[in-house]
Amino acid sequence: MSFRTDFIWGAATAAYQIEGAWNEDGKGPSVWDDFTHIPGKIFGDHTGDVACDHYHRVEEDVSLMAALGIRNYRFSVSWPRLMPDGIGAVNEKGVAFYDRLIDVLLEKGIRPFMTLFHWDYPSGAQMRGGWQNPDSADWFADYVSLCAKRYGDRVKDFITLNEPQCFVGLGYQRGTFGPGLVMSEKDVIGIAHNVLLAHGKAVQTLRALAPDCRVGYAPCGNVAIPCTESAEDIEAARSAYFATRRETGMFTVSWWSDPAMLGRYPEDGLRLYGQHLPAGWQDDMKVIHQPLDYYCQNIYNGNYFRAKDGRPEMVDQPVGVTKTACDWPVTPDCLYWGARFLYERYHTPFVISENGMSCIDTVSLDGKVHDPQRIDYLHRYLRGLKRAADEGIDVRGYFQWSLMDNFEWANGYNERFGIVYVDYATQRRIVKDSALWYRDVMETNGETL
């Protein structure tokens, strides 16, 4: 067997990580513009001010995508580029930029997947309380309304939020991502609820204004992988994957996905955090719980679990486990078990919205970038996803992260996740070996795996 004939093969990026032009053509500042300009917050004091200069290189980059056989492109829209203060006035030059990007994609036969929020929250909205403000979900819905009205005639695939675990957990709980705040548990739970409400209102807005569109949601989380395929270990891993535990903070699957997909918070989560939810939160659940066309998940690695005394026990990674350049373990089975567990729980067509690896990539003497480790990584992981598809899991798509090397948040330009190398001094793009390998995989619909 193979992947379904209409399987979505693609690559992904995010606005702040590639666009640059941080203060051009009327764009307002984001919390990431502010955060990266604070000395010591980012590796090497790097910023996204220029990044990959994609804002000025749209045609070049889309032509490169087309040459690499990429037919589906997941990108995000910068909220403050469209609405400089986060609410109110619209920046028509920002609107025109994404008009141009979408039109060029369609001209090249590439299907656009628009992610509406990938962390670059408008500074103007943050100064009004940001996600902590009860009105924040309505601000987001107004922004989504703009996107639906201006782009919904051509964009038919939208993803509401990317990795709320990260932008809430790291941005407001641990303080290591923009806006860099360390807040109380009560405040963080209130923020998380407002973010979920924003997701629900965004879906309602898209359904009303772009009724023929398809909508997804892209949370994240390390997968719990059973040590063996015994029924006991599988159940232990499943239990661990969906457990809500205070020690993991906001990095839990069920707290973020059960409300959106099942219309309820997990019981173990309510026992921990229920007292912090805002008054009347139960009435919000019918808004948060909106039917989705596909459930997305960003998956990079996992942890191993076994059953011990009737409970899940995490097992240490093997000594000498293979790791990526950013020290993440290589655990190919995570795509299989992630797809399986999530589909069994949520019964919604499944898409991997991000997967890839950081390598220590260099330009060789022959002028090329040879990255056999990335090819091996992608090959192994995609075989895991193919196993899920072969077993009847409704796997609809896979987006490789990332199309090109870019600004990797707190790690600046120290990590290279792209299948296209970027020389940041010259902005020259160099196709890596992995891009050519991935092109063959896409062309054969995974038969070469």
Residue 323, helix vs strand vs coil: strand
d(CA 432, CA 5): 27
Determine contact, residues 418/374, Cβ cutoff 8 Å.
no
Determine contact, residues 203/160, Cβ cutoff 8 Å.
yes
d(CA 449, CA 444): 9
Task: State how beta strands 111-117 and 157-162 pair.
Answer: parallel
Task: State how beta strands 428-431 and 420-423 pair.
Answer: antiparallel
Q: Which residue has the tokens 């992988």?
A: 225
Token pair listed for 355: 């997967």
Burial of 53 (0-12, 13-18, 19+ CB in 10 A): middle
Token pair listed for 439: 């092109």
Q: What Å distances lie between residue 356 and 11, 359, 429, 443, CA to CA?
A: 10, 10, 19, 19
Q: How many residues does the chain have?
A: 449
d(CA 118, CA 296): 14
d(CA 393, CA 413): 36
Determine contact, residues 166/32, Cβ cutoff 8 Å.
no
Closest C-alpha to 318, from 403, 194, 386, 227: 227
Beta strands in 384-437 (DSSP E): 395-401, 420-423, 428-431
State the catalytic residues: 163, 354
d(CA 206, CA 290): 11
